[in-house]
Structure 1
Amino acid sequence: MNYRPALTLLASLFFMWGFITVINGTLLPHLRSVFELSYFQTTLIESVWFIAYFFASIPSAKLIERIGYQRSMVAGLGMMAGGALLMVPAAMIPSYGVTLIALFVIASGITLLQVAANPYVAVVGAPETASSRLNLVQAFNSAGATLAPLFGGYLILGRTAGGTAAAGDAVLTEAERLADAQSVILPYLLVAAVLAVLAIVIARFPFPALGAATQRSAKEERRGQSLWQHRNLVLAIPAMIAYLLAEIGVGNLFINFVSQPDIGNLTQQQASNYLFLLWGGMMVGRLIGAFAMQRMDPAKALAIAGIGAAIVMTIATFASGEAAMWALISVGLFHSIMFPTIFTLGIRGLGPLTEEGSGLLIMAIAGGALVAIQGVLADAYGLQWSFLLTIVCELFVVYYAVWGARPTNALPPPSRTA
Structure 2
Amino acid sequence: MRQMMTYDLMETVRNTNQWIGATAFAMASYPVFGAVPHPVFRLMAAWGEVTERSFSRMVVKPDWGIDAIVGDDGRDHVVTVQTELSRPFGNLIRFRASGRAERKRRILLVAPMSGHYATLLRSTVQSLLPDAEVWITDWHNARDIPVSAGKFDVEDYTMYLSDFIRHLGPSINVIAVCQPAPLALAATAYLAAEEPKAQPRTLTLIGGPIDPDAARTDVTDFGRRVTMGQLEQFIIQSVGYKYAGVGRKVYPGLLQLSSFMSMNGETHSRAFSEQIVRVAKGEAGDHDKHNKFYDEYLAVMDMTAEFYLSTVERIFKNREIARNDFTVAGRKVDIGAITDVAVKTVEGEKDDISAPGQCLAALDLLTGLPASKKASHLEPKAGHYGIFAGKSWRNNIRPLVLNFIDQNTPASSQKARRETA
TM bracket (short chain):
under 0.3
Structure with bigger helix share is: 1
Q: 1 or 2, which has the higher strand percentage?
A: 2
TM-score (norm 2): 0.23
Greater Cα radius of gyration, structure 1 or 2: 2
Q: Which has the higher contact order (CA 8 A, sep 6+)?
A: 1
TM-score, scaled relative to structure 1: 0.23
